[in-house]
Structure 1
Amino acid sequence: MSRAQPDASAARPGRALGLLLAGLLLAACAGTRTSGPGDAPPDAAAPDPVDPGTVVVQVSSVGGYTSAEELHGRLPPVTVYADGRVISPGPVALVYPAFAWPGLTVTQLDPGRLPDLVDRALAAGVGEDHDLGPTGVTDAPSTRFTVLTDGGTVVREVDALQEGLGSPMLSEQQRADRQRLAALAEELAGLADPAQPWSPSAVAVLAHPYTEGLLGPGGAPLDLPEVAWTGPDLPGEPLGAGLGCVVAPVEEVRAAASGASTATPWTTPDGARWSLTFRPLLPHESGCADLTG
């Protein structure tokens, strides 16, 4: 099944988005331009400035059969912002246990490309709401497409987008429609190349009581050194399923987290042991509530 949430007027999204981005560029230029004879007064009508951290296009994963920390701690594969930044997860080392600190990358696009990007996303079916059929895949996450148009933000969720492409339960039209969206997701992922490392200013820390007796490769018990937690009090704001969340400045926790793994036991002064998942906050996010969607 799929879910689309388009606003009423989604016609000519590229044109309207172009005007929004023009406002962003004008606002940026205004910071360096000096006034001269004949210039309009500062309060003259002009396009409203656009926050550079406005999401224009995003692909994210939601739901699926997995742990609570995975549900809330996922990073969107691609987020494109109004100033042309494309932020994506960085390469993941094939080690177990995995490194605790997730890397992020940024690529800079010309903001003038964004209206065309929006048009292509809508042409691929993001703004449509017809049935994409059942796949019989029940444990895979859904892919959520978010696109900014002149009528507002359009959201479409597709269950088991990649995993369900070969399902015999789909009609030819449903399979073709899914393939258009799958191709869009692949195209958007390709925007993150070439990329440079990107560092957030804050990180959400997801905490739950440590699971004792974890096993490593070959079934041997993991024997990992404890790390003292010096950040905000745990477990923090409840997110459900025994999971808590606190927000910390990156400079307070990155040094310790960079030397830890996803299986590291973190200790607090009261003797409690915790498992922690570090979820960097993206430019449009401000706290734990942003991770519950």
Structure 2
Amino acid sequence: MTAASITPAAGAKSPSADIPFNKKPVSPAKIIGTVIGYVAMIAIAAFTLLPFIWMLLASVKPNNEVFMVPFKWLPSVWHFENYINIWTKSDMLLWVGNTVFFAIIVTFLQVFTGSFAAYGFSRIKFAGRNALFLVYIATMAVPWQSYMIPQFKMLSSWGLVDTRWSIVLLQAFGAFGVFMMKQFYDTIPEELAEAARLDGLSEFGIYSRIVLPLSGPSIAALGIITFTNTWNDYMGPLIYLRSQNLQTIQLGLKTFISQFNADYAMIMTGSVLSILPILVVFLIGQKQFIEGIATSGMKG
């Protein structure tokens, strides 16, 4: 084949000329709609983030500038030492340690019990399975305040009040985790489990060696939700924990506020420190969280 045979003839169109680059016109209404959509999203994001930005800036302001009138965003003097002083003025290390302990233990137990129960409801056929699942899921509609007192009396009779076990048992099981994980397990082809059973694998083996490895995004989503709820829990520790050495960061900050009720900058510093772990956990697992939420709602 000669060079002349592959060279376009004079006046002929180049093949690239037939590629429709931006040939479809965009209507002005669509452009305006897109611009309005982005402006609305930016406004909503700003409205959501402004309180956190204010809290962050207030934590490094002089105390008399936190609620200054007229309002002032940036401090005249940056007091970054507040983030050091709070560790010496309070039991922040103890509070954080207790909260991390509860958050990790409860998250592990909820993920394990939720995924394990969800596997039974999704893959194991037994009489009354659907009815039992509906009854169990219906408990999510029952407010905690309605059974808070009987629950307290039960744990108190067992001698678990003012112990770590009270918080662990209080939150280690949840219907939401079962519901969420079952939604995901229903999307896994049953053929995988059938093939594993033919190879002699037990139900627990199928759960641990096949189903769990496929459940990464959903487990990450459930883990982030559980970790956040446990970290932010105030009522549970307030009711069950009385000793100073068992206080979580939420109870500790309440005590700190009562002691330093005029030191607003230091209070803002403690509030910032209380949300930083949640922010870090979410930023690390946001991709898996979004994917897990999306896949848990799929069917078929």
Shorter-chain TM range is under 0.3
Q: Which structure's residues are more often helix, by fraction?
A: 2
- Name the structure with the higher strand share: 1
- Which protein shows a greater Rg? 2
- Of structures 1 and 2, the one scoring higher in RCO (CA 8 A, sep 6+) is 2
TM-score by length of 2: 0.22
